[in-house]
Each structure stands twice: as structure tokens, then as C-alpha cells.
Amino acid sequence: MKKTVVTLLALAFTAGNACSAFAAGPAGFARGLTGNSAVSYISEKGKIIPPFAQVLFCAQNPSECRDNNGLAVVALTDRQMLQLKDVNTAVNRTMIGRNDSRNELNGDVWKVNVRSGDCEDFALTKRSRLIAMGWSSRALRIATAYTPSGEGHAVLVVRTDKGDLVLDNRESSIKNWRDTDLRWDKIQSGTDPYVWYRL
């Protein structure tokens, strides 16, 4: 395991920080889930080097990167949808959006359960809270993308029988991945946090 982490750290550091994530506050037009949305899943392409900051995060927080051997696709009930909405809203309201300091690892440090942070810190905190509520880690994946203005961004993607749903710190609505304004970049594997795919 240590050899894998060291190898991935070296590869990720060599590749550089491919996606810088910025803190973004609530904004945009909220078009939530509708009954007309077809079930749709993000289609992964080939494997890609994970973000360096994510590899470092997992090395420092192994319990946050453990596979709990749950289901890869959650059958979404009304109760679970309410949990998603509650967690998304609570984290978006209580965390303060703040970009990482440029002095911290090229301006990109991933943290969980903090009072303030940027977009991946919001996504990691939502993931952590849902896992604590009994959700499968395999259905909760971090994805990176670009906003319409070209800023790097990270969100939590939840794989359900209703499609891949996005929990974004920029808004309170939970949307199907196709209904967002994001240009997708890469996504974490459900079974191995050290494996990422191009989108």
C-alpha cells in the first residue's frame, strides 16, 4: 500500500496540478431534478493520473479513502433524497467558501470537515457526512470540472438508480450531471480512490 501511495504521489507531482479548484459561492439558476429527466450516467474514458492533492489527502486521511464495500448504485428512496438535500444544504450554508492560500501546495490542499474551504473541501465534507449516515462509499465520488468562466471546480457525484446526481457548493439544488453548467474533466473510481478516469 505504501509503495502504491508513493508511486502515485510521484506521478501526480510530476504531472502537476491538472485541476485547481476554486471556492465558489451560491449562484446560478437552480433547475432541480424533474420527473422528465432520463436516467443518465457519466461515461468514464481511460484512466488518468489522480490530482496530486487528492493522493496526498488520502495518504494523510486513510479512513476517508477506504472502500466500505457498499453498493455502486444506490436505489434512491424519498428518505435518501431528503438526506442528500439536507447534507447539501447544511454544508453549503455552514462552510465558508475560501480559496486555498497560494503558499499551500501550489494553492490546492484537500481537507474534510472544516469550517471554511474551497469546492473540493465542500465535496469531501458532504461525502464524509453521507458515509457516516450509512451511504456506500462506492456511490459517492469526487469529480473535477470547469465552470462556464473556466475555473477549475470539484463536486460530489452520487450514483443512483435515477442517474448520477451532483451536489455542488455553488447552489442548493441537486441536479442530474447533464443538467449542470459544468464541463466535465475527470472522476474518481467508486472502488479505488487512487484510480481516476477522464470524462
% of the chain beyond a pLDDT of 90: 68
- Is the per-residue pLDDT at 113 higher than 80? yes
The reported pLDDT for the residue numbered 49 is 94
Q: Cβ atoms within 10 A of the Cβ of 192, count?
A: 13
% of the chain beyond a pLDDT of 70: 77
Amino acid letter, residue 60: Q
Whether the CB-CB separation of 52 and 13 falls below 8 Å is answered with yes
Architecture (CATH level 2) of domain 46-191: Roll (3.10)
Residue 118 vs residue 14, higher pLDDT: 118
Q: What does the pLDDT look like over 75-108, one tens digit per residue?
A: 999 999 999 999 999 999 999 877 766 655 566 8
Task: Grade residue 193 by pLDDT with cuts at 50, 70 and 90.
Answer: confident
Residue 98 vs residue 47, higher pLDDT: 47
Q: Which residues contact 113 (CB under 8 A, 6 or more apart)?
A: 125, 128
Average pLDDT over residues 122-128: 97
Q: Which residues contact 174 (CB under 8 A, 6 or more apart)?
A: 32, 33, 81, 84, 85, 88, 165, 166, 167
Pick from 100, 98, 96, 174: nearest CA to 130: 174
Cα–Cα separations (whole angstroms), residue 147 to 119, 131, 155, 168, 170: 12, 27, 11, 11, 10
Task: Grade residue 38 by pLDDT with cuts at 50, 70 and 90.
Answer: confident
Whether the CB-CB separation of 155 and 165 falls below 8 Å is answered with no
Q: What is the pTM of this model?
A: 0.81
- Is the per-residue pLDDT at 17 higher than 70? no
Q: Which residues contact 2 (CB under 8 A, 6 or more apart)?
A: none
Pick from 176, 132, 147: nearest CA to 37: 176
- Distance (Å, rounded) from C-alpha 139 to C-alpha 158? 5
- Is the per-residue pLDDT at 2 higher than 90? no
Pick from 152, 117, 124, 154: nearest CA to 140: 124
Whether the CB-CB separation of 177 and 164 falls below 8 Å is answered with yes
The reported pLDDT for the residue numbered 102 is 61
The reported pLDDT for the residue numbered 25 is 40
Residue 104 vs residue 54, higher pLDDT: 54
Q: Which residues pair with 93 in a beta bridge?
A: none
Average pLDDT over residues 183-195: 93
Q: What does the pLDDT look like over 128-175, one tens digit per residue?
A: 999 999 999 999 999 999 999 999 999 999 999 999 999 999 999 999
Q: What's the mean pLDDT when you consider all of the chain?
A: 83
